[in-house]
Structure 1
Amino acid sequence: MTERLWVDDLRPAPPGWTWAKSSAEAIAFLRDGEFAALSLDHDLGGEDTTRPVVLWLCEHDRWPAEVRVHTANPVGREWLTGMARRYGPGVR
């Protein structure tokens, strides 16, 4: 399992990463596959955020081994990292 999922509406995924631009797209990728790593922006345009993605991971216990947060939103970063530390593998 070497798949890595990048969730961000603006910044392109690094080479080798699957790119999801919305929370719904990210959840669809997670539902259909397994990922070794996940990197999250918080704000995805409009009212969309990655919070539904994290809640889905919590509800389905499908956390990748590695979780990263690359958002510039300090409040969003705190929420995402707090949830990943509490319910998932932590944050790198």
Structure 2
Amino acid sequence: MRVYLDDERATPDGWLRVYWPEEAIALLESGQVEEISLDHDLGDDEHGTGYDVVLWIEEAVALRGFKPPRMFVHSANSSAKEKMLSGIHAIQALYRGRSRPDT
């Protein structure tokens, strides 16, 4: 499954659109998400942002051995995009570190 978190843009073909972080997280918890593309600004920062999904994935990888999907950021908010990409890089490094066999 490919999940597209956004409040305004058209959903690309082959992607399942969600509008809020909790919807994306519920799908991630199903274990069936192969790719996720995130917008940051979703129209109500108190309800959450795309960065909240990045934080959830990071915690799930660190504490529960969650296998992260391929992650993309399509936000036009350049500073938030950089923050989200930094989080994704940290998640990937954490997952790679957990995936290595003990030597």
TM-score, normalised with respect to structure 2: 0.76
CA distance in structure 2 between the partners assigned to 1:82 and 1:20 by the alignment: 23
C-alpha distance after superposition, 1:7-65 (max 9, x if no partner): 1111132111011101111111111242111111111111121111111101112410x
- Number of equivalent positions: 86
Aligned-pair identity in percent equals 37
Q: List, as ranges, runs of 4+ consecutive aligned residues in structure 1 with deviation greater than 2 Å.
A: none
| Other-structure match for 1:78 | 82
Q: CA deviation at 1:69?
A: 0.8
For structure 2, the residue ranges without an aligned partner over 5 or more in a row are 94-103
Classify the secondary structure of the residue corresponding to 1:88: helix
RMSD: 1.4
TM-score, normalised with respect to structure 1: 0.84
| Other-structure match for 1:38 | 36
For structure 1, the residue ranges without an aligned partner over 5 or more in a row are none
Classify the secondary structure of the residue corresponding to 2:26: helix
Once the two structures are overlaid, the 10-residue window that deviates more, 75-84 or 12-21, is: 12-21
| Other-structure match for 1:49 | 49
